[in-house]
Chains A and B, each alone.
Chain A
Amino acid sequence: MELIRSNKLQVLFVIFLLFSGAISQAQSTTITGTVIGDGYPLPGVSVVIKGTNNGVVTDFDGNFSIDGESSVTLVFSYVGFITKEILVEGKTNLEVTLEPDLAKLDEVVIVGYGTQKKSDVTGAVSSISSEDIQKTANVSINQAIQGRAAGVTVSKTSGSPGASPTVRIRGTGTVNNADPLYVVDGIPVNDIRNINMADAESIEVLKDASATAIYGSRGANGVVLIQTKTGKSEKPVLSYNMYTGFQSRVDNIDILSGPQWGMLSNEANRNDGNEINPDFANPESLPTYAWEDAAYRDGLVQNHQLSFSGRSDKTTYYVSYGYISQEGVIKGSSYKRQNLRVNNTYQLTEDIKFGHNLQYANSSRISSPESGQDPWRRAAFVGYIAEPITPLFQEDGSYGVTQYSSAVNPLGLVEFGSMPEKRENFLGNFFLEANLAEGLLFRSNFGVDINKIEVDNYIPDYNVAPTYNSPESTYILNRAEQKSLVWSNTLNYNKVFNKKHDFTALLGHEIQEISYNNVNAQRSEIPGSVSNPTLGSGNVATASNNGGRSESKLLSFFGRLNYNFDERYLVTATYRVDGSSRFGSNNRWGKFPSMALGWNIHNEDFFQTDFINQLKFRAGWGETGNQNLPNASTFNTLDLNTNYPFGINEITNVGAAPLRPGNQDLKWETTVTQNVGIDMAFWKNQLSFTADYFIKNTTDLLLAVPILATSGYQQSPFGNAGDIENKGLELSTTYRKNINDFNFKIGGNVSFIRNKVTELATDGSLILSAPAQGFGSVGRTEVGHSLASFHGYEMIGIFQTQEEVENNAAFPNTQPGDVRYRDINEDGIINDDDKTYIGSPFPDFTYGLNFEVNYKQWDLSLFFQGTQGNDIFNASAYYLEADLGTNLSTKMLDRWTGEGTSNAVPRVTYLNNGVNTQQSSRFVRDGSYGRLKNAQLGYAFSESLLESLSISKLRIYVSGQNLLTFTNYDGLDPEIGVDQTFNNPLDIGVDRGRYPSTRTVTLGLDVTF
């Protein structure tokens, strides 16, 4: 026992734990009893002898049995009930009744730079249960919070292992980086993927400005606060969780067989008045090769989490190790991550506490090629459009080369195009808390977040396709380091006057330094004799290298005042001043105030409605900012890569010229949010309901202002160029009920968000985004429309007869069977003036639905998530439904073949393909979907069974992700966010053939000692 208290050799701790059962049995008296709650026996209640680590858990019938001296005090605790202490006083059979904890409302939530009682919160804050998300087989927190909170939209960008999804809190408020700020233990982090989900104790999403304004310049896109675990119980807890399973692709596209494809090719040639391809004279005899499956496989997923935690008088500790490994469904793609975390606190003196949360993580990711405007090098998609009649392998065993399409053999892409990347992360903070006086707490928090990224990619020489070959082997080496340092100091003062006036004041100061540097180098011609190539093994004459560096700083002062009158009237006011090195000295400082009011009506004397136990109104207003822009945007910098070779020997001469003009007058982007909300709870919290309505106005939008090419600048300058309005309604509700052994919980949330551009400056009155192969820029941002709306012609059907063609506006060369477009201005011709808005990538609403049920040993949870009313521009259909050189969707079998045969799918033609593939509503699809994201069925072994093994909890489960999808979308996968290969937040809802979602089935085990 002394060994534990000293808390020094934690390894020995584990050993102790293994024997602890044996030790505790060596005591004299046995105390037994039953625990009742809500009128029924309560299973799973923790029963601990006060002041020791000895404890047991009640069984199914609420019974427990513990050995101890007859004078001890037993502590009974269970989630949702008030913890009770009972002095045994010689009794051996106890009946203990636990009272439900109505004040679950009074759990403490993390807010910026502090905590608050939930009942005192005046802003729009959503808490996400870390228990719920642990039930999903996600790798990172940002993916796991999908559908869990109203107003938080998460869309997958790629099914590739380790890919980051797009996360938007309350819509897209900026055309700049609109990702929320992630703060882990008070430290803003660069890459949330480094955080082990299993280490998350709580996740709070701060949505409105009255909650985020304390983060000032970084709060405009919302803030996700993550608090990692600490040791809690005096009884040391060792837990091990694991799951393992397989993932397979979600495949939504049916394509043509060789004979079908040959038949359509012949038909197209006949339509064009051309000879058919003699090789296709007998299309039935054409072979079919399964290109679409070539790159795919079933991938193995594994997750192991080990932690132990506990506390003593003066210290708490939490140590964890996590290992996650995913094989992607595309061959070669994978993600592995290891996390190590140590969270300890030390009570140095009565008034001073010191603590640290330290994490080391390393990950290695191999990503398959999936970038670029065109689909030819997108390994997940290209197999669907390679012509089916060409063999995957040539006779000599080398990769088959497509003869009709430009598709690169996906096996070759995977072999030579996959990119390995290793990341190492250290994230840690040290904090000191000092009670300076009664109610006055000083806290200093110093944190570092260091990310190292390494690419070591040896690519042998290869020749896979005309557009995909390299006569020499290459070694690519990239190194990058991101570092951020944060130091914040706060003084928190709490004082209650006359028992009713509760004041809390916070004063703080913070500095942040972010630096980045990278080196890229490359050499070719690595001799074949080198078995383990390095950069240096390449020919020095082929060497090239590059590198960069940047730095930015933020200096901030902030304060907050909370006033609570008699738990009835609540006021929160915050103020933050941020200075940023990214702006010129004229606009360096930004000021971000906020104010919010709350009214707990249920605490009023006049409120006597029994079945309503909570009724609270909230209203808030606040300003937040955004400074997301490149560090040197205010300067007129000159690029040093505009070179030219002069002289007989063509020696490289260095050129210097601007790529983008600087803008000295850049200033902060400001977002003003107004929010009203209501929280209600009925029948002792059986039913709870929250609603929020907000208006979020972003002004002085920081964006790369698109300028006319006559300026001569290749890149757009940054400017404060417009206003965006996001309005929305968020509803969430939970209903829970216990009936004997059966208890269940249903929860749901839905958010409606409208997004509109209300103003754009003259330079930049139009922003074009999302270029797609075969089309121009698909997205268009203009005043009066939502961001990045789809733009093009409106398809109104298929010309059925020659007469129709002649009597209506049509493109030159149009024939019956070709697409008919609307002549918007009715001038008798179809040209640019007839282009119009044809869709929006933003949904009418997004929703999440959670269902949990427990019956005796069994538990089942289901989680649905979806979006409704968003459009997808299916650029992949340019190939699948139009370009006859590629394979096609079976949809093309329903093409127009004569009057009345189709009004949706045009005839097949090579010559006139251009008429039918205009950027038009033909390619705009309903992107709505509902998906069973997660389903899990678990079984917990009974206590009586486990007791002899000294195990306090053992549960096994089977779990499935993406088991069911309901959608009309006909591309690979309706779940598409920002296409990250374009690095533009306005590249939304354009499907160029992504790495699809995966269906995962896993078996898992949770065990706690």
Chain B
Amino acid sequence: MNYNKIRTGRIIFFVLAVLSLGSCSDYLEEEPYGEPTEENFYKTESDAQQALTAAYYPMREMFSTQNFGATTASDFIFGDIGTDDILKGGARSSDGPHLFEKQNYNLTTSNPAVANIWKVNYKGILYANLVLEKVQGIEFEDEGLKTRILAEANFLRAYYYFDLVNTFGGVPLIEMSLEAGEYNQPRASKEETYAFIENDLEKAIEDLPSRFEMGQEYLGHADKGAALGLMMRVSLYQNKMDQVRLYGEQILQLAYSLPNFDDIFEPAGEWNSGSVFEIDFSSNSDFLGGRIPHMLQPRNQGGIGFSQIKDGLRDEFDTNDPRFESSFYNVEGNYGTNWYNRKYSLAPHSNYQRPNVGGAGNNPHNIRFIRLADVYLMYAEAIYNEDPALAREYVNKVRTRARGENSNSIVPNLDSTLSGEDLLDAIYKERRLELAGEGLRYHDLVRTDRAETILAPLGFKEGINEIMPIPFEQVSLSDGVLEQNNGY
């Protein structure tokens, strides 16, 4: 009897023990670790600033140590390969198959470069859209700051769309962050895409301060000059020369001046007096470095050796043009032309030291995205017909600066009678010299309809190669909603 009681007691005890474990539903509530959730974010000024910082990230990513593929897809490499200026380079003729495709104009839809351009820019568009949507509702003590943050996001969105429209033509216009089920959007026309970009830039121009009004801590942020400069380039690429002139006149009001050419691409030349917009990189253990210098470095000096300088570009320089030395250098012993781009180089070819942390791709070189010389030349191109004298004057500003301390016979001023097509050719040539190796050649040839003449011998096919194929993966995922470009 006693024994049975003990047993019954045990049963009750164990059953109770078991039951006491369950039924607490709070037990399964888990909040995520380490990261804020969207629901708790976008509430304060500091949140707004962090959201804005993130919107700059993809711009950086395109050239960054974190994204090797995107760096090869940037205009410095993928963009200008296949032109008369730039040889693919690398270890051998077939090194970098996606770049080899570009060089031979055998572009396929599965080219990883186009996939990277597409993805990184749309990421930038999302992050800019999130700022535009969410910051509006945040209360700021300083309403001016809010206006500025929104305007920067407008600039960034325009920047990203501009890279897309240059590469692909018209693209889907995502004006707000999308919800699941809404992602599949058809392409807008090229004109609609450009109109959208201009609209964003107009807002940015209106609301952004100039960096000359702001402290040095503002550097890196887009300012009024950056928006005007980008608007000029956007207009130029559409051949809207009136607009180039209009915005050119505005930017020329700002306090820019041309520094010594030699200094521009040195560490001391970051955000120099002629810098309209730069993409910032720093080399430290935060890994915010850039990979372009590593990509362009000679292989026997620890680089990858892409985007070497072709003879045609070097021959374009007068023998005594000081810019030649400042733009190129020669290291023998590798595949290719053995001529390299000094503008994004490392010691001993520049004063930029090799990174001592974060690997060879963690370089501090800022990308000089828009320079004052470019602005002058765009402006000259816009007015060469109506005001050749003024056009010549701006070209000569660039040439004078190039000449430096040298005698007037070196990089002489343009013939004072130069006008019409000859003047235009001189402006084109000046762009090629001044902006050599800065990733602008392909777009310059395409926008001025010279691509067929100059690039056809290299394989360029008119009506097809002006723009790149839409990534195969995206076309497949869209189930036909995204239409492929002609000829791909």
Contact = CB atoms under 8 A, between A and B. Distances in A.
B2 interface: no
Nearest to B130: A657
Nearest to B360: A469
Nearest to B30: A581
B473 A642 contact: no
A652 B122 CA distance: 23
B250 interface: no
Contacts of A639: 35, 54
A524 B359 CA distance: 10
Contact of A404 (B7, B91, B284): B91
A127 B18 CA distance: 32
A765 B480 CA distance: 12
Contacts of A239: none
B357 A542 contact: yes
B216 A647 contact: yes
Interface stretch (A838-846, A863-871, A888-896, A914-922): A914-922
B53 interface: yes
Contact of A657 (B25, B51, B122): B51
A797 interface: no
A777 B15 CA distance: 55
Given A436-B10, A489-B21, A553-B28, A711 B122 contact: yes
Given A509-B18, A658-B38, A712 B91 contact: no
A19 interface: no
B54 A657 contact: yes
A713 to B, nearest CB: 7
Given A509-B21, A637-B32, A644-B280, A708 B477 contact: yes
A590 to B, nearest CB: 12
A713 B51 contact: no
B356 interface: yes
Given A652-B286, A914-B101, A471 B356 contact: yes
A348 interface: no
Given A491-B18, A553-B27, A643-B57, A656 B50 contact: yes
B30 A712 contact: no
Contacts of A463: 302
Nearest to A440: B11
Interface string B34-53: 11111101000001011111
Given A436-B10, A466-B303, A913 B94 contact: yes
B429 interface: no
Contacts of A646: 53, 217-221, 280
A697 interface: no
A489 B17 CA distance: 9
Nearest to A884: B94
Given A544-B285, A811-B106, A509 B22 contact: yes
Interface in A774-791: 774-777
Interface string A220-254: 00000000000000000000000000000000000
B214 to A, nearest CB: 11
Contacts of B443: none
B243 interface: no
Contacts of B125: 712
A425 B112 CA distance: 42
A707 B287 CA distance: 28
B286 A643 contact: yes
Contact of A638 (B41, B93, B124): B41
Contacts of A914: 97, 100-101, 104, 106, 108
B406 to A, nearest CB: 32
Interface in A427-475: 434, 436-437, 440, 442, 444, 463, 466-467, 469-472
A709 B118 contact: yes
Interface string B331-366: 000010000000000000000001111111000100
Contacts of B360: 469-471
A511 B36 contact: no
A550 B92 contact: no
B148 to A, nearest CB: 13
A654 B93 CA distance: 41
Contacts of B297: 466
A645 B216 contact: no
A548 B33 contact: yes
A436 B53 contact: no
Nearest to B32: A632
Interface in A620-643: 631-632, 635-640, 642-643
Nearest to B57: A642
Contact of A885 (B17, B35, B93, B180): B93
Contacts of A582: 30
A581 B24 CA distance: 13
Nearest to B357: A542
Given A404-B335, A708-B183, 15 more contacts: A472-B356, A472-B357, A582-B30, A631-B30, A645-B280, A647-B220, A654-B50, A657-B51, A658-B130, A711-B122, A711-B126, A714-B119, A768-B473, A910-B94, A919-B110
18 contacts: A436-B14, A466-B305, A472-B356, A541-B357, A632-B35, A638-B36, A640-B34, A644-B280, A650-B220, A650-B281, A657-B57, A708-B183, A712-B127, A712-B129, A717-B180, A914-B100, A914-B108, A917-B97
Interface of B: 7, 10-11, 14-15, 17-18, 21-22, 25, 27-30, 32-39, 41, 47, 49-57, 60, 90-95, 97, 100-101, 104, 106, 108-110, 112, 118-119, 122-127, 129-130, 172, 174, 177-178, 180-181, 183-185, 216-221, 271, 280-282, 284-288, 297, 299-305, 335, 354-360, 364, 471-479, 482, 484, 488
Closest 8 pairs (CB-CB, A-B): A712-B126, A655-B54, A657-B54, A776-B110, A632-B32, A885-B92, A655-B53, A636-B38
Interface of A: 401-406, 434, 436-437, 440, 442, 444, 463, 466-467, 469-472, 487, 489, 491, 509, 511, 522, 524-525, 541-544, 548-553, 555, 557, 579-582, 585, 588, 631-632, 635-640, 642-648, 650, 652-658, 661-663, 706-714, 717, 719, 762-763, 765-766, 768, 774-777, 811-813, 831-832, 883-885, 910-911, 913-915, 917-919
